[in-house]
A and B are shown apart, each in its own frame.
Chain A
Amino acid sequence: AQRVTQPEKLLSVFKGAPVELKCNYSYSGSPELFWYVQYSRQRLQLLLRHISRESIKGFTADLNKGETSFHLKKPFAQEEDSAMYYCALSPAGGTSYGKLTFGQGTILTVHP
C-alpha cells in the first residue's frame, strides 16, 4: 500500500522568509514523487516531480529515500506562492498507469 503524509494542514510565513512544506511517504517499491499546487480559483497543476530534478518558481524538492521524505522548499517565499500544495506518489514502473496517492494537502499563506 502507498501512503503520503503532509503533517501540516496550514503553514503561514512572511514574504521573503524561507518555507518548507513537509511530505513523508510509505511505499515498499520504487516511488515517483510529485508536488501539485492549486492556486485560488485555478485548477490543480503539477509544480514539480522528483525525476526532473528541476526548480520551478524557485521551489525545489529532494527525494530522500532514507527518510522517505520529499519536502518542498523555497528560500524566499512570495505572496503569489499562497496556495494549496499536495504531495503525491505514484509507483514507478509496472502497470500502475499513473495511480496517484495524494497527501492531505498543506495550505500555504504568505503574508506581506
Chain B
Amino acid sequence: DTAVSQTPKYLVTQMGNDKSIKCEQNLGHDTMYWYKQDSKKFLKIMFSYNNKELIINETVPNRFSPKSPDKAHLNLHINSLELGDSAVYFCASSHGDRGGGETQYFGPGTRLLVL
C-alpha cells in the first residue's frame, strides 16, 4: 500500500527520444509535484498541480509537459530528451492547503539516464 508510487524506477534511453514517467498517490491529496535531483543531489521543483490544475511551473523547458488525468495521478512527459535531462525525478504529494507549510510525501524516484 505504497503512498506515492512512480514508474519506471529506472529509465535508460537515447538522446532525442520521448519518454514518460508516471506517478500515483493513494493518500487522497489534492496537490502533486515533480522535482528534479541533479548529479550534485540538488533538488528543485519543476511543476505542481492542485486538483488537476497547474499552479507551479518553474522555468522548465517546453519539452517537459506534465499531465494530470485526475488528482491522484501526475505524469511527466519529456520530448526530445537531452543529455542534461539525466537526473532523478521525484514525484510528491501533499494535502493541498493553499497556505503552504504542508508535509510533502515523496515517491521513490525515477532515475533517468540519457545516452
Contact = CB atoms under 8 A, between A and B. Distances in A.
A107 B92 CA distance: 22
Contacts of A97: 31, 48, 50, 55-56, 96, 98, 100
Contacts of B104: 46, 98, 100
Contact of B90 (A32, A44, A46, A92): A44
B94 interface: yes
B55 A105 contact: no
Interface string B82-115: 0000000010101011111111111111000000
Contact of B42 (A94, A98, A99, A105): A105
Interface stretch (A18-26, A55-63, A68-76, A83-91): A83-91
A3 to B, nearest CB: 12
Interface in B16-71: 31, 33, 40-45, 48, 50, 55-56
Interface size class of chain A, counting residues whose CB lies under 8 Å from the partner chain: 20 to 34
Contacts of B98: 94-97
B106 A91 contact: no
Contact of B109 (A32, A43, A45, A84): A43
Nearest to B98: A95
A93 interface: yes
Given A43-B106, A43-B109, A97-B48, A51 B101 contact: yes
A58 B99 CA distance: 28
A45 B4 CA distance: 12
Indicate the member of B100, B104, B106 with the most A CB atoms within 10 Å.
Answer: B100
A92 B101 contact: yes
Interface of A: 32, 34, 43-46, 49, 51, 84, 86, 90-102, 104-105, 107
Interface of B: 4, 31, 33, 40-45, 48, 50, 55-56, 90, 92, 94, 96-109
Sorted nearest first, the 3 A-B pairs with minimum C-beta distance are: A32-B101, A96-B100, A44-B106
